[in-house]
Every structure is written in structure tokens, then in C-alpha cells.
Amino acid sequence: CRSLAVALTNNKEHRTSEISVKELIVRRGQAFKLTLRLAPPFRPTFDQLTMTVVTEDWVFLPDEAERQEYVMNEHGIIYKGVDKYIDPTHWDFGQFEEDMVKICMKILDYNVKHKQDPADDVSARCNPIYVSRVVTCMINSENGGGILKGQWGMDFRGGVPPTHWSGSYAILKKWSNSVFSSVKYGQCWVYAAVMCSVMRLLGIPCRVVTNYQSAHDTNKNLTVDTYYADYGVREKESKDSVWNYHVWVEGWMRRPDLAKDGKYDGWQVLDPTPQEKSDGMFCCGPAPVSAIRNGDTHLKYDVPFVFAEVNADCITWLVKRDGSMVNIETDSIKIGQNISTKSVGTNDRMNITDSYKQKEVAESKRLHFFKFVTLKVSKPVDGEDVSLKLILNSDSSATRRLSISVAVQAMRFTGQPAGNILSEALEQELVNREMTAEVLFQNPGQEILRDCSLTLTGSGLFNGELITRLPDLLPNNRVRVKFHFVPYKSGDRTLLVDFDCASFRDIKKSCTVIVKP
Ligand SMILES: *[C@@H]1O[C@H](CO)[C@@H](O)[C@H](O)[C@H]1NC(C)=O
Ligand SMILES: *[C@@H]1O[C@H](CO)[C@@H](O)[C@H](O)[C@H]1NC(C)=O
Ligand SMILES: *[C@@H]1O[C@H](CO)[C@@H](O)[C@H](O)[C@H]1NC(C)=O
């Protein structure tokens, strides 16, 4: 009952007053004030009071700007797209929103290890290596009780597509409110972003990282194998795959369990997307980035899996009639490109490829069957077919049978002025005073847009998501929607808007709102 005054001063000094001024929340490695009132009174000659204080902190980041970015920043950028067209998306981590302490403690309490041995689990929570691994288990739903259910197909019934989300808090709150049934649906970047929020709330520095041309090596032998058939022989199925991008997080911590000299301290890969089991659970990491770079694949946790994601060789096999196989191509360059994360203190992209990979020497074991592959695409016209023309020139006299796969992805809806947003009065808002945001959307196409909705997200501006259904939008018509809300935290805040309709999904825009104290 006397904790209020204690919480106020301690939380301010420990920079946790954004989370709460009612509960005492302190960070490690820093002094705090505590008044104990004992009944019966303390008698120095008879009673003994022992307190152990650990000043060593495995997650301490010495640089103030880095602490601000990787622990305190509630706004982030996630890179998607393909390696030649990197697409930044804003994300609201919301780690200091209401009840985040409760939600994150529940995440820890729901993990299998806690159910098996609560005392053991709780006493291990001082260890960020243990905690971060447990969190990767709990972000996906494959181990039971976890937060997000994945969907890589097109059937999003019973939930929303992964592209809907703009922030973590709506997901975490939904999980917590729904008596902990998994929230539908997530994919790699949603898993990673939610994990980043939980890590930052727990005080473990964390950032979201994208790897382009990311390999998924199912049998952990560090190669991605593709099989092609000679005449009349069926292709051998391969479970290995290469993704245009994959997103995980890095947590910052020391690794005294691996080396006494601090060789493996620093950023560690943690991948909450359920891909392969590790010690019987869908979890991955922490794997030191320095170990991945050095190829120290014997180290825990899951270094071989992450090493393959950024470094696997792509091997193409020709399967002969008698079942024997010939290696027709080895590409050791393709996997793991343009590995990206948001920079400290700015919205620029930081290229961290060199921290994962040594410089590679182009190795040419390729047998070139085709000299030129040219793809010509006709200019897209609304409502008409698009023609694709593929030109192959062979430099060999041999006859070859080939199969061609063409993948088309609509990257961005570039109607003008699609989703032009937001009133001018966003500059000088005051905390605890009502403000208005205006969203303007014009239908630039030739068809009626149906099932339209707008979703607003912004930690410190309003709690969770604001969702508004809109009437059908006729061609060239505009819709203008005003939102009123009361910002409850000062500072630079990010307002994220998502427009969704049946014809195209989840167009996103964002803007900064400066809220004065
Ligand atoms: C990396 O990204 C840059 C900038 O988007 C692009 O020009 C380059 O081609 C990419 N690298 C590879 C190997 O694709
Ligand atoms: C990896 O496994 C595949 C499938 O089992 C096999 O064909 C390939 O030879 C293996 N590669 C290496 C380098 O062992
Ligand atoms: C990122 O760094 C790698 C390695 O230095 C380099 O090859 C690549 O071109 C860089 N990409 C971008 C987009 O700067």
C-alpha cells in the first residue's frame, strides 16, 4: 500500500514510468530505494535481513542512443519485399501500453517449462538466454497456448490476414482477452515484431531483422536441394525452400555459457516463426551472430539452422532414369542478401549483412544451359490480361526439356492519390487533449470497392486498434473519415492507417504526431 511513492521515484529513475507509475518496475544493475515496514519491528541484535544484489547485467548496452532505440522506442520499421525492391513498413511495438507487464508475465507463466516445474522456471528468469528462448516458444502457437497462429495459404477464415496488423499490442491484448487462444493469423514478420515488443518490455535490447533470399534447410545439412528430372522421370520432392525474405529478431545479451572471453556476447538471433523443432519444441535461438559469421555451427542454440538461412549452398540435381543424381549447379552466393534492420535514431535502413557473412568469392560451378533469359511484360491495363513473353537463348547444342515457373506479386497499389492522409493539424498536439485525424481515400480504379474498412493503430494515442467499416466506394469517389481521440503520452508518436477492401488488401500509410507534454 506504500508502494505508490516508491514506484513514482524509482520508475522515473529506471525509465519505466512509461510502463506504470503504480507498480514498482526496476531495471537490473541500478540502485533503487525500498522501504520495508516489518511487523513485528526489526530487532538488529536478534533478526537477520539478507539481500543479495547483483550488479552485473547480461543485457546492458553501454550506448545511450542504442538503449533508446532497442529498449525504449515503441516505433519500428520492418523490411519486406524482395532484395532488389526493399519495402519498408512501419510497425507500432507498443511495449509500454496498458497491461503489457501483466501480458508479458503471463507469456512466461504459460510456457511449458513453467507448467512442468514452476520453481525452476521462475528462478531461471534472471537469465536472458533462457527467457528469450522461452519467448520464441510462446510467440507461435505450435507448442500449445502460444500467441499467434500462422497461415501461409489464402484461407484467413476466423481471423485476419497477416498483412492486416500494424502493431503488436492489438495482437497481445487479443490473446490475453480471449483466455489465451491463439490470434489468427501471423507470418514471419508479425511473429518477429510481436517478439520484439515482448523483449523490449522485459528490458532485453531487441531489433527486427530481415534476410532476403532466406533458405529453409529442413534436414540441417546446410544445402538447399532442388531436383530436376531427365526425360520421363518424375522430379524428386524437396522439402527445402528459399523464401524471398524471412524476418527474425536479434536480442542483445552476453553468452558466458559459450565463452569466458566474451567472444559470443552481443546480438543473438531468435526466430519465433515455427519452422523446425529444437529440443522437441518449435523455438529457435539464441544463436550468436558472431558464431554464424565464423561458422561455429557446433554451438547452441540452433546455429546450424540460422547459418543455413544466410549461407546455404543451393544445389540443383539432375535425377537420371536409373535414379542416380548429377550435381548440375552449385550456387553459393544466392542465399542471404541485403540483411537489414532499422538504424539507431533514424528511419534509415542499416545493412548488417557483413555481421552475418564473410565476403564471398564468386564460385562458378555452374553449367550454363541458357545464355539469356529475358522477360517482357506488357503494360498492365485495368481489366485486361497482361502478356508475359519469355525469351531463352541456348548456348548448347543439346536438346533440353525444361519447366518454367513464373511468380507474379502485386507489390503496391499505386493509384493516385490512394490513401492520402491526414489533416495538417497533427504537429502540435497536447497530451490529454482531444485531437482529430482525418483520413482521405480515393478509389482510383474502375471498379466498386466493397467490404472497405479503415484500421488505426498508434501507441500513446489510443488503446489498441480503431476499426471503422466504410460503405462501398464507387470509381473515382472519395471517402473522408474523421477520428477523434485523446493522446495520453507525450513525445513523437506514430499514427498508422490501414485501408482494406475485397479487391486489394491492406494499404498502409503512417505519419508522425508530435504530442507536447
Ligand atoms: C541489395 O539491395 C540493393 C538496393 O535495393 C539492390 O540494388 C541490390 O541489387 C540488392 N542486392 C542483391 C544481391 O540483390
Ligand atoms: C543434403 O541432403 C540432401 C537430401 O537428403 C542430399 O541429397 C544432399 O546430398 C545432402 N547434401 C550434403 C552436402 O550432404
Ligand atoms: C549490403 O552489404 C553487402 C556486404 O557488404 C553488400 O554486398 C550489399 O551490396 C549491401 N547492400 C546494400 C543495399 O547496401
> What is the C-alpha radius of gyration for the chain, rounded to an integer number of angstroms?
26
Cell 507461435 sits at which residue?
A: 140
- How does pLDDT run across 77-98, given as a tens digit for each residue? 999 987 667 889 999 999 999 9
SS3 per residue for 446-494: CCCECCEEEEEECCCCCCCEEEEEECCECCCCEEEEEEEECCCCCEEEE
Say if residue 444 is preceded by a cis peptide, omega within 30 of 0.
Answer: no
Low-confidence residues of the chain: pLDDT under 70: 1-5, 52-55, 83-84, 229-238, 360-373, 395-396, 398, 400-420, 422-428
Q: Are residues 44 and 116 in the same domain?
A: no
SS3 call for 436 = strand
Question: Does residue 408 belong to any structural domain of this protein?
Answer: no
**Which of these is catalytic: 90, 164, 216, 246?**
246
SS3 call for 309 = helix
Q: CA-CA distance, 169 to 166, in Å (whole number)?
A: 9
- What pairing do the DSSP bridges indicate for beta strands 183-186 and 287-288? unpaired
Cell matching residue 105: 508475465
The CATH code of the domain that includes 304 is 3.90.260.10
For ligand 1, atom 3, the nearest C-alpha belongs to 84
Say if residue 231 is preceded by a cis peptide, omega within 30 of 0.
Answer: no
Question: Does residue 394 belong to any structural domain of this protein?
Answer: no
Residue 141 · residue 211 · CB < 8 Å? no
Probe target for ligand 3 pocket from 83, 293, 334, 338, with the most ligand atoms within 8 Å of CB: 338
Q: CA-CA distance, 350 to 101, in Å (whole number)?
A: 30
pLDDT at position 417: 35
Number of compact structural domains in the chain: 3
Q: Are residues 75 and 16 in the same domain?
A: no
Q: CA-CA distance, 344 to 401, in Å (whole number)?
A: 51
Percentage of the residues of the chain whose pLDDT score is greater than 90 = 49
Nearest ligand 3 atom, CA 339: 1
The CATH code of the domain that includes 484 is 2.60.40.10
Question: Does residue 406 belong to any structural domain of this protein?
Answer: no
pLDDT at position 190: 97
Domain of residue 43: give its range.
1-57
Question: Does residue 389 belong to any structural domain of this protein?
Answer: no
- How does pLDDT run across 341-387, given as a tens digit for each residue? 999 999 999 999 999 998 765 444 344 455 556 777 777 777 788 88
Q: Are residues 7 and 74 in the same domain?
A: no
Residue 492 per-residue DSSP state: E
Q: Are residues 159 and 226 in the same domain?
A: yes
Question: Does residue 104 belong to any structural domain of this protein?
Answer: yes
pLDDT at position 237: 67
Q: Are residues 52 and 106 in the same domain?
A: no
Question: Does residue 368 belong to any structural domain of this protein?
Answer: no
Question: Does residue 511 belong to any structural domain of this protein?
Answer: yes
pLDDT at position 410: 54
Probe target for ligand 2 pocket from 221, 227, 241, 329, with the most ligand atoms within 8 Å of CB: 221
**Which of these is catalytic: 271, 302, 313, 506?**
271
Q: Are residues 177 and 294 in the same domain?
A: yes
Q: Are residues 87 and 39 in the same domain?
A: no
